[in-house]
């Protein structure tokens, strides 16, 4: 953000400045910065919620509540490890892109972040290992019961967004519903095909991880929007709360909306992913 505020190049396309301007005035740079912001806040929120569930699983007074939180936490672990690390790589790559040519050399340090971020997708056992865990131990083993219970919680958030009724809440609710429905269809596909067609299921394991992680991060930002709108209305830290609202809406409309496409790849695309003979590669 600091570089984007300082680097001067080209006039804004809307003519708002009649001279070369800092690149943060350009729409595509704003889009990249918002993407970096949304991924970062979404993944942080997802990790924080998982950590809270871990604490409740170990320290809550009620045994059933401990059990529910343990199940939720265990489902979230591969998402926090897999989705967050993959998206950190995306964020670092966008950081290089914002810097342009300066990002590809050592002076700014942006390229070092990109190189460092790549190892994150390997350190945790590689993304595919996390995805296999999500498919096998976290979804198929209990016939998708925990996954479906989480989907039911997300549906409650959708209802809250509908009651809230603001333009931002409606926009986020629309995308959250579509993503949750895509997730539910994939869970049914995984549990229904795991024994009969394991290759068809596991070829879509990483896309499933990306869909589930995207949904969970988007869900947490939707929850943050509900709180932020209430606090903004009360006059509490209005600028900060408005930024939270805008970020949640951006995530829904630019990132969460990818979920249905991932569903199509997983459910409809297995055959094409495995059809090519080994000696044809």
Question: Which residue, 103, 123, 143, sits at the end of a domain?
Answer: 123
Question: Which residue, 123, 149, 182, sits at the end of a domain?
Answer: 123
* Separation CA 57–CA 142 (nearest Å): 19
Residue spans of the chain under pLDDT 70? none
Residue bearing tokens 């670092």: 92
State whether 109 and 244 are in the same domain: no
Q: Which residues are catalytic?
A: 124
What 3-state DSSP class applies to 22? strand
State whether 87 and 182 are in the same domain: no
Domain that holds residue 179: 127-270
Query: What's this model's pTM, rounded to 2 decimal places?
Result: 0.95
State whether 118 and 140 are in the same domain: no
Question: Which residue, 75, 107, 123, sits at the end of a domain?
Answer: 123
Pick from 166, 179, 177: nearest CA to 242: 166
State whether 66 and 132 are in the same domain: no
The number of distinct structural domains making up the chain is 2
Q: Is 9 contained in some domain?
A: no
pLDDT digits (tens, 9 = 90+) for 62-119: 999 999 999 999 999 999 999 999 999 999 999 999 999 888 888 889 999 999 999 9
* Separation CA 49–CA 221 (nearest Å): 11
Q: What is the pLDDT of residue 125?
A: 82
């Amino acid at each position: 953000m600091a570089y984007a505020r300082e680097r001067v190049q080209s006039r804004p396309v809307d003519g708002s400045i009649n001279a070369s301007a800092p690149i943060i005035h350009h729409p595509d740079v704003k889009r990249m910065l918002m993407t970096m912001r949304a991924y970062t806040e979404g993944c942080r929120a997802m990790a924080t919620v998982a950590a809270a569930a871990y604490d409740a699983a170990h320290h809550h007074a009620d045994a059933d509540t401990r059990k529910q939180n343990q199940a939720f936490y265990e489902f979230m672990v591969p998402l926090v490890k897999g989705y967050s690390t993959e998206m950190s790589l995306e964020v670092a790559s966008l950081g290089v892109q914002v810097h342009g040519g300066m990002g590809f050399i050592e002076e700014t340090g942006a390229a070092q972040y990109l190189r460092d971020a790549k190892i994150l997708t390997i350190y945790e056992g590689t993304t595919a290992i996390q995805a296999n865990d999500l498919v096998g131990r976290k979804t198929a083993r209990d016939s998708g019961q925990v996954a479906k219970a989480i989907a039911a919680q997300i549906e409650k958030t959708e209802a809250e967004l509908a009651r809230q009724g603001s333009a931002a809440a409606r926009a986020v609710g629309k995308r959250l519903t579509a993503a949750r429905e895509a997730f539910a269809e994939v869970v049914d596909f995984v549990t229904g095909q795991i024994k009969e067609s394991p290759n068809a299921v596991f070829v879509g394991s990483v896309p499933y991880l990306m869909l589930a992680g995207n949904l969970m991060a988007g869900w947490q930002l939707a929850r943050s929007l509900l709180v932020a709108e209430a606090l903004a209305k009360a006059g509490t830290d209005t600028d900060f709360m408005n930024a939270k609202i805008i970020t949640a809406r951006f995530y829904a409309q630019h990132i969460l909306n990818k979920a249905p496409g991932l569903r199509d790849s997983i459910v409809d695309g297995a055959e094409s992913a495995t059809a090519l003979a080994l000696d044809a590669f």
